[in-house]
Amino acid sequence: MTNSLSMRMNAFLERHFPERRLFLKSESETRFIRLKPGMQVAAIAGVSAVVGWSIIATAILLMDSIGSGNFREQARRDQQVYQERLNALAAERDTRADEALEAQGRFNSALSRISDMQSELLASETRRRELETGIGVIQSTLRRTMNDRDTARKELDGLKVAMAENGGTVGNGGTAISDSTVDFLTTALADTAGERDKVVADAKDALLQADAMAAELALVRDQNDAIFRQLEEAMTVSVAPLDKMFRAAGLNTDSLIAQVRRGYSGQGGPLTPISLSTMGEMPSPDASRANRLLNEMDRLNIYRIAAQKAPFALPVKSSYRFTSGYGYRRDPKTGGRRMHEGVDFAGPVGTPLYATGDGVVVHAGWQSGYGRLVKIRHEFGIETRYAHMSRVNVKVGQRVSRGERIGDMGASGRVTGPHVHYEVRVGGQPVNPMIYIKAATDVF
């Protein structure tokens, strides 16, 4: 069976691929190479395989080139959209910054005015108490004078009755009351009545002054109430966005405030509440409102300090391209998916890079994968990283401030082009830096 199949196969090959000879002639001799049917079939199959492989490889290269072109075009469109969005956010940030400066100016003006009005209110309160004391003294004097007058009148009436009964004399053969004595008493009563009238007039004037002072105090209280309302609205507008910014960044505002309070150093410290002597009484409504405003001002001051310490800024101030976001992405070298723990901003080599918040440099040098890397430790357990730099301008242990230049953009380490890889870590765990950048953009 096997021999029969082999004979048929040989016959088929000899019929379609008859044996051929390839002659090789030289000057001295002639040689030939015998090409059997099997060798011809193998040669044809090898040539066909090479041609097919060439065609397939060419098609794959063409398809990959077309796909790469579409991908690059899409990437350019995405970069343009990102750039337009970032430009819009920057313009909105500048607008919010101008509004914040205007609000701060209005707040300072209102605070100065309320301080003046508070001083006037205290002076008015002092004058009112003095007037009330004077009115009380006048009323006591008036009552005493009127009592003396009534007593003198009763005595005079008694004398007149006694004179009438005794025929102008008092007692059993006593001394007669002369006309001069009666005139003296009449004059004394007239003087007393005059003093009484004067005291009454003074009391009326004092009451009128008290009414005027009461009206003035009412006007001052209305003005104070208007100022308090403006200040309360200004504080609400100023504090609420900052509170929202810190919460959006994943920070606990209560622990943040407590930490900043513990670390006051040359910042002025918490504002001292207003304390007025009330002789054991409850504080006035104005004092309570003023203390609430002072508490909100203190909270605003703490937020201002915390915002300066936390990395609420961009590491690049020059023009740049946003090339990669936070999250899983395709590795261009391995083809697999891996976690991208930061964001990438691309630009020319040598583009200045800046610290995004106050802190201490804890690493400044080469690190595998990152290339030239700077790590800055900030308050509240936050750390920022700036990778692939071409030059580093800071040293380990150096304190830096927000906006201070720490180095230049480059292409060191594992990169495909010049850019800065920017990371934010909280408690050692990476978080999306755009949360901080967007939170700051919405406020400042």
Beta pairing class for 30-35 and 321-324? unpaired
Cα(68)–Cα(77) distance, rounded to whole angstroms? Answer: 14
Spatial CB neighbours of 29, under 8 Å, sequence gap ≥ 6: none
At 171 the pLDDT is 47
Q: Is 380 helix (H, G, I), strand (E, B) or coil?
A: helix
Rounded CA-CA distance 436/439 in Å is 5
Separation CA 237–CA 245 (nearest Å): 13
Amino acid identity, residue 270?
A: P
224 vs 261: CA distance, rounded Å: 30
- pLDDT of 373: 96
pTM value is 0.45
- What is the reported pLDDT for 234? 65
Which residue(s) pair with 383 in the sheet? 377, 425
Which pLDDT score is estimated for 274? 47
Half-sphere exposure of residue 323: CA atoms within 13 angstroms, side-chain side: 16
> What pLDDT shows up at residue 38?
75
Query: H/E element holding 292?
Result: helix 285-309
Q: What is the pLDDT of residue 81?
A: 78
Strand ranges (DSSP E) for 240-394?
A: 321-324, 327-330, 337-340, 343-346, 352-354, 359-367, 371-377, 382-392
Q: pLDDT 10s per residue in the chain (444 long)?
A: 677 777 777 777 777 777 777 667 777 777 767 777 777 778 888 888 889 898 988 888 777 777 666 667 776 777 777 778 777 777 777 777 777 677 777 767 766 776 777 677 677 677 777 777 777 777 777 677 777 777 777 777 777 777 676 655 444 444 444 556 656 666 766 776 677 677 677 767 777 776 777 777 777 777 777 776 777 666 665 667 777 777 766 677 777 777 777 765 444 444 444 444 444 556 666 677 777 777 777 777 777 777 777 888 889 988 889 888 888 877 666 667 788 889 999 999 999 999 998 899 999 999 988 999 999 999 888 999 999 999 999 999 999 998 899 999 999 988 888 999 999 998 888 888 988 888 766 555
Residues whose CB is less than 8 angstroms from the CB of residue 170 and which lie 6 or more positions away in sequence, other chains included = 159, 162, 163, 176, 177
The pLDDT value recorded for residue 170 is: 46
Helical packing angle, 285-309 and 179-248, nearest 10°: 30
Q: For residues 181 and 169, is the Cβ–Cβ distance under 8 A?
A: no
| Structural contact between residues 306 and 256, judged by C-beta atoms closer than 8 angstroms | yes
Q: How far apart are CA 57 and CA 442, in angstroms?
A: 52
